[in-house]
Structure 1
Amino acid sequence: MSTPQTQNAWLATAKGEPSEVLQLDESVPVPKLNCGEVLVKVQATALNPIGYKIMTLFPNFLIKRPYIPEHDLAGIIVDANGTEFQNGDEVFGFIPPQPSLKAHSGTLAQYTRISASHVVRRPINITPTQAAGIPVAALTAYQALFNVAHLKPEQHVFINGGSTSVGAFAIQFAKAIGCNVTVSASGRNEAFVRSLGADGFFDYTTGPLHARLASNPPSSKYHVFFETVGLLDLSLYTHSESYLTPGGTFVSVGAVESKAYEVSYIGKLLWTVFLHPRWLGGTKRTYKMIMVDNKRKDLEIVAQHVRDGKIKPLVDSVFAFENVLKAYERIMTSRATGKVVVRVDPEAE
């Protein structure tokens, strides 16, 4: 079947909340390809916090609107465009924010263009709606633990925010190499994180986590502390000598709320983690920040873990394409355990 000239796609038309600025357009041109790109018929996509934060935080002079939001996808290649893929290959991957916004071509659409280096073949033991929620969150977790913190088998790791998508994948990756994993989450999510393999659990709602860890440090200190929630309170890092081994690494996804853009917070972050020397009382532990890198070799490793059953997909809920606004309502509650997925193709599993 030939590819149409136009398609249905959701457009972010202005700066604001998804419910205010997203519009479904039924006559958006199907994108043309550059060398090295493939055209994918999108079966499913998953929402990410960065998606609605770009909508709500970035002014028009930084981002040209309208644009098609979102980044994760699972789909079928309909124009391999001379790459190593074939038409009909079922793939998954993600479009990084910068090229997505530059091309105004995201994944909340029936068709999207994507670099062939940013997709891999979908494991046959998962469905498109399961695969769509893997790339961004799983790659962030994998790269934070192994490329940044260099986690080793049988080490001890603490994951702050074990019920987040990134945290839940991190639990599985750490357990896959035999690590002892302790996590924090709200009490209602304890069963969920333990089902993924968590050995120890802290309910963060019962008191300041840094105070509880510092006053009652573990008998075996953690080699890696992975902060997946968004480090607005720097106390978890400044008290980390009490619970992180000498030479241990504190890895954070960084501050992800609007406070991250306030000058006062940025100044405090720079002083605390980068400018305050240890010999003047600075924290004697290494702080690193993870920014996901769309490396095909890492996505291939993630895909192999899925094929081997070491990593399972994490789907909180699936919404129809026309119900995208309800999908954003769900992810913006911050209560989803797993990915919020949008089924773009109604026939996709």
Structure 2
Amino acid sequence: MSTPTTQKAWIVERMGHPSKALTFHSDWPVPSEIPYNHVLVKIQAAALNPVGYKVMQIAPNLIAKRPLIAEYDFSGVVEKKNGTEFEIGDSVFGFVPLPLHSKTKQGTLAEYVLISGTCVTKRPSNVDAIHAAGLTLTGLTAYQCLFTDAQLETGQTVFIYGGSTSVGLFAIQIAKARGIKVVASASGRNEELVKKMGADEFIDYTKEPIHKYLTSHPPETKFDAIIDAYGLSDPSLYTNSPVYLAPGGVFISTAPVPHSLSMKEVGNFTKTAAAMKWPCWLGGIPRKFKVADVHESKADLEVFRALVAEGKVVGVVDSVYELEDSLKAYERLMSSKATGKVVVRIDKSLEVSSTV
């Protein structure tokens, strides 16, 4: 059966809330030319990411280079190939890195995606397409936070703020697989899940601001790294960190950007930006601050895939929506109530099983 020339796709056309930024097209072109070391994947499922709606809301069209297909994560089947190790019909999962997203205008809320072979790997047989759809972007982010940014080693300790977020859940599992002690925070309703993923200690952030709790209950041995998996705009966890973060430790935030354009959020972000850049010799915080910058790495992707294949890392799916209902999927993600990935099913023949 020949590949169609057009496809259904959600296109980001303007800045704003997803309901205003996105337009559904049923005749968007399918790439016809396959560059060397690229594959055309027929997408089975895609997963939403907070960075998707945040970029929609804060990045002007000129910077974001719109219009372009929305989102980054996918699972699917190789439809065409050129010079890669993949064969037509291979089940795969992968992601569109943010720099490539704006450059190529390829995204995953569509029926097809053209992507470099370095951003794709074979889907292990122990993972279905729904769960595989949400593995790559947040999984690689967690992996690179732990071992590229923090350079953690076996026997060290990490504190993960936002343990029930997608990045947080992956970070917990990956850290435990490498023999790293994990202290994680989330709301009390997610305590069981966070502990199930492997957290050694749990803190309910809803009972008391987390920086106040850690200041009054400092760990016996200071953390070697703190990973803010939620994307705090409030700088308090960082500015108080010398009490609970080791002198050589590093504070890593996935995206310390405003969650809205409210005065409070923008004000907190401004304070965080100032704290990040203010030098120690002028009274700044004597701890490193890094912003997670997930990048394509075939080596990292294959290590992560091996952890998934061995069953040491599993994806958690919060909910599944149809392609036509993607705006409802964004509503779920933006409610801050999602635990794990919000997935969009594109191949309607896929069965939706349990979430974990």
Same fold (TM over 0.5): yes
Counterpart in the other structure of 2:129? 128
Counterpart in the other structure of 1:215? 216
Greater CA deviation, 133-142 or 225-234?
Answer: 225-234
Decide whether aligned partners of structure 1 residues 85 and 223 sit closer, same or farther in structure 2, where only a CA change above 3 A counts.
same
Instruction: Give the TM-score normalised by structure 1.
Output: 0.94
> What's the offset of the Cα at 1:260?
11
> What's the offset of the Cα at 1:265?
5.8
The 1-side partners of 2:206 and 2:319 are apart by 25
Work out whether residues 38 and 77 of structure 1, in 8 Å CA contact, stay in contact via their aligned partners in 2. Answer: yes
Q: Which amino acid aligns with 1:207?
A: E
The 2-side partners of 1:118 and 1:200 are apart by 34
For residues 50-129 of structure 1, what are the structure 2 equivalents within 5 Å?
Answer: 50-129=51-130
Count of residue pairs brought into register by the alignment: 348
The 1-side partners of 2:179 and 2:242 are apart by 24
Counterpart in the other structure of 1:23? 23
Work out whether residues 162 and 185 of structure 2, in 8 Å CA contact, stay in contact via their aligned partners in 1. Answer: yes
Aligned with 2:69: secondary structure?
A: coil
For residues 1-349 of structure 1, what are the structure 2 equivalents within 5 Å?
Answer: 1-32=1-32, 33-257=34-258, 258=260, 268-277=271-280, 279-349=281-351
Residue by residue, what CA displacement relative to the aligned partner does 1:66-114 show, whole Å, maximum 9, x if unpaired? Answer: 3210010111111112322211111111011222223222111111111
Unaligned runs of 5+ in 2: 352-356
Aligned with 1:80: secondary structure?
A: strand
The 1-side partners of 2:301 and 2:129 are apart by 16
Residue by residue, what CA displacement relative to the aligned partner does 1:26-46 show, whole Å, maximum 9, x if unpaired? Answer: 111111333332111001110
RMSD (Å) for aligned C-alpha atoms: 2.0
Unaligned runs of 5+ in 1: none
Q: Which amino acid aligns with 1:272?
A: A
The 1-side partners of 2:216 and 2:15 are apart by 44
Decide whether aligned partners of structure 1 residues 177 and 260 sit closer, same or farther in structure 2, where only a CA change above 3 A counts.
farther
Q: Which amino acid aligns with 2:287?
A: R
> What's the offset of the Cα at 1:266?
6.3
> What's the offset of the Cα at 1:210?
0.8
The 1-side partners of 2:226 and 2:304 are apart by 21
Aligned with 1:211: secondary structure?
A: helix
Q: Which amino acid aligns with 2:19?
A: S
The 2-side partners of 1:326 and 1:127 are apart by 23
Decide whether aligned partners of structure 1 residues 20 and 274 sit closer, same or farther in structure 2, where only a CA change above 3 A counts.
closer
Work out whether residues 232 and 259 of structure 1, in 8 Å CA contact, stay in contact via their aligned partners in 2. Answer: no
The 1-side partners of 2:22 and 2:226 are apart by 37
Residue by residue, what CA displacement relative to the aligned partner does 1:307-333 show, whole Å, maximum 9, x if unpaired? Answer: 111101111111112211111111111
Greater CA deviation, 226-235 or 294-303?
Answer: 226-235
The 2-side partners of 1:127 and 1:17 are apart by 31
> What's the offset of the Cα at 1:281?
3.3
Decide whether aligned partners of structure 1 residues 109 and 282 sit closer, same or farther in structure 2, where only a CA change above 3 A counts.
same
The 2-side partners of 1:314 and 1:7 are apart by 28
Aligned with 1:130: secondary structure?
A: helix
The 1-side partners of 2:262 and 2:62 are apart by 19
The 2-side partners of 1:267 and 1:73 are apart by 34
The 2-side partners of 1:334 and 1:297 are apart by 32
Identity of aligned residues (%): 49
Residue by residue, what CA displacement relative to the aligned partner does 1:98-133 show, whole Å, maximum 9, x if unpaired? Answer: 222232221111111111111011111101111010
> What's the offset of the Cα at 1:173?
0.9
Work out whether residues 260 and 266 of structure 1, in 8 Å CA contact, stay in contact via their aligned partners in 2. Answer: no
Q: Which amino acid aligns with 1:242?
A: V
> What's the offset of the Cα at 1:292?
0.5
Work out whether residues 44 and 345 of structure 2, in 8 Å CA contact, stay in contact via their aligned partners in 1. Answer: yes
The 2-side partners of 1:149 and 1:64 are apart by 32
Work out whether residues 130 and 313 of structure 1, in 8 Å CA contact, stay in contact via their aligned partners in 2. Answer: yes
The 1-side partners of 2:67 and 2:299 are apart by 33
Work out whether residues 259 and 265 of structure 1, in 8 Å CA contact, stay in contact via their aligned partners in 2. Answer: no
Q: Which amino acid aligns with 2:74?
A: L
The 2-side partners of 1:270 and 1:8 are apart by 40
Counterpart in the other structure of 2:354? none
